[in-house]
Amino acid sequence: MRIELAQNVMQRHNAQARENARALMRYNVFAVDVMGAPGAGKTELLERTVEAMARNVRMAVIEGDVCTARDARRLQERGAQAIQINTGGACHLDADMVAEVLEDLSLLDIDLLFIENVGNLICPTHFPSGAAERVIVLSLPEGADKPEKYPAMFQSCSGVLVNKMDLAGVLPVYPAEVVQQIGRVNGEMNIWPVCARTGEGMEEWYEWLHAGLRRFGRYR
Ligand SMILES: Nc1nc2c(ncn2[C@@H]2O[C@H](COP(=O)(O)OP(=O)(O)O)[C@@H](O)[C@H]2O)c(=O)[nH]1
Ligand SMILES: [Mg+2]
């Protein structure tokens, strides 16, 4: 009985995610889920990305957090359109929450939409938002063992940004080992070693975003 109920709930979430994907497709909006642990640098990465791409690409960000509008404010200060969702305790965004916000966005005026999920390496895995792609930010201080400990999250994403590369050499965590561990869990992933603080190493990430925009007919 309980299993059936859970299945129904998940089916409903997946159906809403497909509905969100259709709404985004209708307006040719390329949407990317950004996931990762609290403090991995998801917001910092988006701040740099918004700064670097704003000249050619119209971007918006949906920010998911339990409380506060701090992350949305950070993005707004960088010139991006940003809307905050407060989950009020829930550990992930779900497709219903995203659907509500999509109604408030003028999708016609957006090329690229980021959806920063609540910091968590477990729950968001099973709750698609409707975004075309999902990426994860994994920072060096989290340690090289995280891909193997949270494989489902890594297997649900097409790319991983290995962040805080400026700390390589300071921490007893070796980027090569992190990359190797990611490969063991998901050999198909794009791996981008970056320093979101300075923007160093982020060109390939931008290229990947541009390729997505081209697929969505948004390239200028
Ligand atoms: N050293 C270093 N710190 C970073 C980098 N990226 C983010 N941070 C810091 O990590 C902390 C968490 O960043 P934040 O963007 O809030 O992470 P989020 O919780 O994943 O959104 C902040 O103090 C950032 O300044 C980086 O590349 N290098
Ligand atoms: Mg954040």
Q: Does residue 28 carry a pLDDT above 70?
A: yes
| pTM, entire model | 0.96
Q: What pLDDT score was predicted for residue 35?
A: 98
Nearest-angstrom CA–CA distance, 40 and 138 = 6
> Which CATH number does the domain housing residue 58 bear?
3.40.50.300
Query: Of the ranges 2-11, 89-98, 137-146, 151-160, which one carries the lowest mean pLDDT score?
Result: 2-11
At 214 the three-state DSSP class reads helix
**Residue 164: inside a domain:** yes
Within-domain flag for 91: yes
The residue whose CA has the least distance to atom 7 of ligand 1 is 41
Mean pLDDT, range 157-176, rounded to an integer: 97
pLDDT score for 6: 79
C-beta of 163 in contact with ligand 1 (< 6 A): yes
- Asked if residue 220 belongs to a domain, the reply is no
Residue 16 maps to a domain:
yes
State the pLDDT at residue 9.
Answer: 84
Whether ligand 1 lies within 6 angstroms of the CB of 119 is answered as yes
> With 60 as the cut, is the pLDDT of residue 220 above it?
no
- Cα 172–Cα 176–Cα 181 angle in degrees, nearest 5: 95
Let me know: does 165 contact 194? Beta carbons within 8 Å. Answer: yes
Beta carbon of 167 within 6 Å of any ligand 1 atom: yes
pLDDT at residue number 7:
83
Task: Assess whether pLDDT exceeds 70 at residue 219.
Answer: no
Distance 34 CA to ligand 1 centre (A): 14
State the distance between the two ends of the chain, measured CA to CA, in whole angstroms.
52
Residue of 190, 84, 182 lying closest to 133 (CA atoms): 190
Average pLDDT (28-47) is: 98
Counting the structural domains of the chain, the total is 1
Range of the domain at 52: 2-215
Q: Decide: 38 in ligand 1 pocket, CB within 6 A.
A: yes
pLDDT of residue 82: 97
Short-list 161, 85, 168, 185, CA closest to 127: 85
Distance 30 CA to ligand 2 centre (A): 20
